[in-house]
Structures are given as C-alpha cells and as structure tokens.
Amino acid sequence: MEHTITDQKLEQLRKACKLRLTISFVLAAAAYLAALVFFIWSFFFGSPELGAQRGAPLLEKVGSLVFVPFVFALMVWGLFYWLLVKSGYDHFNSLFKNKYVLSAIGETGLFQELNYQPGGGFTHDEIRNAAVVACGDKQCFASEDMLSGRYKGLRFRYSDVATARVTVSRQSRREVSLFRGQVMQFAAFDHVKKSAGHLQVFERKFGSDLMGWTAEHEIQTENEAFNHRFRVFAADEHNAFYILTPKLLEQITQFANQAGAQVAISFCGSSMFVAVNRLESILDASFHVPVPEQKQFILKDVELLRQAGELLILEASAFQKGQP
C-alpha cells in the first residue's frame, strides 16, 4: 500500500470533485427552471388544487412562484450533492489528510515520527488544565484530526479544537461558541526541569471569553511594545521574569505575526500549549484551490509549528539558566 500520493494524482481528484459540484449546480438550476415553468402554468392556468386560484392576490402568487421552485431546487441539489459530490470529496479529503499532508511535512525534514489520527484529539480536561483557551462546557467540547510527531526531540501534538458554553434563559437554551481553531502541545525533553505553575501569554484582542481562567499575577515586561500587544499572567513572577527574555518576547511576536490570527500561549510544567483562533487547518482539503497552492498553505503552517517548537526550546533554556 502506497503511503504517499503525487500532486498530479491529487489534483486530478480535486478537479473531478469540482466538476461533480458544478454538475450538481447545473442540475439544480434545471430543476428550478422546470419547477418555475410548472408553477407558472399551475397558478395562472392550472387547477385550484395546485393553488392556482384565479382570485388569489398577486403578491401571494408571486411569492409562491419564487419560494416553492427554490425549495424544490434546493432539495434536488442536496440529493445530487449527496449522490455525486460527497463520496468523491470524502475520498479526496481522506487522501489529502492521510497521505499528502504527512508527505508534504515529511519532505521538509524538520519532523520525525509523524502520525495522523482522524478521530484523535485533546480531551476537555487537557484543555482546561492547559489554560490556553476557555474550555467551556464538556458536552460542547470537540477535538479531532490529531497530528503528532517529534521536532528536535520534542514530542508534539496538533489538533482542531472547538469549545462552547451553554446559556439558558427563560425563552431559550443555546450554545455560545468560545474558541474554534487549532491547539498545539509541545512536551519538553525528559531532562528539562519543570517550571512552577502556569505562565500565560494572550494577545490583547484575545477576548476575555476566549481566555478562560488565568494565573494569579498579571505582569508587565520591560518591552513596552510587547505589553501593548500582549497580556501576561504568571503563577510565579520570579520564574516568569527569568523565562521571558528579550529573545523569547521577540520570538512570540514573530510567531503571532506568522499566525495571522489571535494566538495564546501557556507554559506549564515541561509542556507548552499554543492556541490559534482560526477556522482554517492544514488538514482541511478544498476542491476550490489547486493542490500546489494548498501545499503552500501546508508549508506555511509547518513553519508555524516549527516556530512554536522553538519557543519551548527557548523557554526551557531560559528557565534552566535562571535556576540556582
């Protein structure tokens, strides 16, 4: 069984999926026109049983002419999408995730022991204890598409995460989304000492609902530009100032710039969790974008993953230097 797939083969599958989608739209449009012609005849010339009451208000007739054929066409499109498009996209997406993404990441030579688990993910307890995003209610929590491996000896996990909370009022009960994006975890070398408590870094535009609980002390660094963009919380202020070196502050800023979305970072023990608040993921295939372009998106996120690993290496180095 082949463990990789070529750009050309995957591009052929993508084009086939896109063609099927186009055909489903054409068939839906044809169904709409056919239904429109039928209902025009029914309303103005047909039997009363079909709603063609000659004395019916004009607005009622026009509304029915627009609404009923549209609903019919939507149902037809849904049927053809299920029959023609979904199976092809599922096959394309499976190959993209299981073979193409792993192959593209492996070609960089930066990561080892790569593994992908479609049903894998973080647990609600892990996200709650990491304190990198608000974990929300357990029944609303979801995590899937787990990518794992090693970077310079560091174990890492990367997964889609969605958190939400339930709000209840007299009139309704609804689910309020808190975070939808990716969470990365890097676990340090076994010989690296563990830092005391949490050290959290949040972009200021990372709203309070997304932040969840924070460590006891909010601190200011010596970098005013950094303070203007980020908020820092620490359980141990002394350790925090050892860890947050000028180099690490610079790297965190570069990482946030590279992400192009709201980011949060939590150092805890010998691990680091990074959250990126965005819907896009390197494991999401699209049949609207050519495969070579999607590969560039993958490589961009690979660089993001590499930068996250370097943050933990810098943090571990700074912490060890700061110990007596």
Quote the CA–CA distance of 54 and 93 in Å, as a whole number.
52
Residue 38 lies in a domain: yes
Residue 1 lies inside a defined structural domain of this protein:
no
- Amino acid symbol at 27: L
pLDDT number for residue 5: 81
Q: Does residue 172 fall inside a structural domain?
A: yes
What is the chain's alpha carbon radius of gyration, rounded to the nearest angstrom?
Answer: 26
Cα 102 to its chain centre, rounded Å, is: 18
151 occurs within a structural domain: yes
Confidence of residue 63 (pLDDT cuts 50, 70, 90): low
pLDDT digits (tens, 9 = 90+) for 243-264: 888 898 999 999 999 888 889 9
What pLDDT is recorded for position 140?
92
Last residue of a domain, one of 31, 63, 96: 96
Same domain for 161 and 299, yes or no, is yes
Q: 127 with 91, same domain?
A: no
pLDDT digits (tens, 9 = 90+) for 180-211: 999 999 987 444 545 668 999 999 877 666 78
Taking each helix axis from N to C end, the angle separating 7-44 and 86-95, rounded to the nearest 10 degrees, works out to: 160
Q: Are residues 21 and 117 in the same domain?
A: no
DSSP 8-state assignment for residue 100: I
Percent of the chain with pLDDT over 90: 29
| pLDDT given at position 128 | 93
Domain that holds residue 262: 112-322
Q: Are residues 279 and 233 in the same domain?
A: yes
Decide if 101 is inside a domain. Answer: no
Q: How far apart are CA 236 and CA 242, in angstroms?
A: 10
The answer to whether residues 78 and 54 belong to one domain is yes
Mean pLDDT over 124-147 rounds to 93
Instruction: Judge whether 136 lies within some domain.
Output: yes
Domain presence at residue 212: yes
Is the domain of 34 the same as that of 182? Answer: no
CA distance 96 to 12: 12
If asked whether residues 245 and 270 sit together in one domain, one would say yes
Are residues 216 and 304 part of one domain? Answer: yes
- Decide if 319 contacts 243 (C-beta within 8 A): yes
60 pLDDT higher than 80: no
Are 50 and 150 in a shared domain?
no
Q: How far is CA 111 from CA 107, 114, 115, 247, in A?
A: 9, 7, 11, 24
Going by their DSSP bridges, the two strands 154-168 and 173-187 should be labelled as antiparallel
One domain, residues 128 and 81? no
Q: Which residue, of 48, 66, 96, is where some domain finishes?
A: 96
Determine which of 69-73, 95-99, 106-110, 139-143 has the lowest per-residue pLDDT on average: 69-73
Q: Is residue 263 in some structural domain? A: yes
The whole-number pLDDT of residue 52 equals 45
179 and 57: one domain?
Answer: no
Mean pLDDT: which of 44-53, 100-109, 143-152, 237-246 is highest? 143-152
Asked if residue 73 and residue 133 are part of one domain, the reply reads no
**Given 32, 61, 96, which residue is the final one in a domain?**
96
Count of domains forming the chain: 2
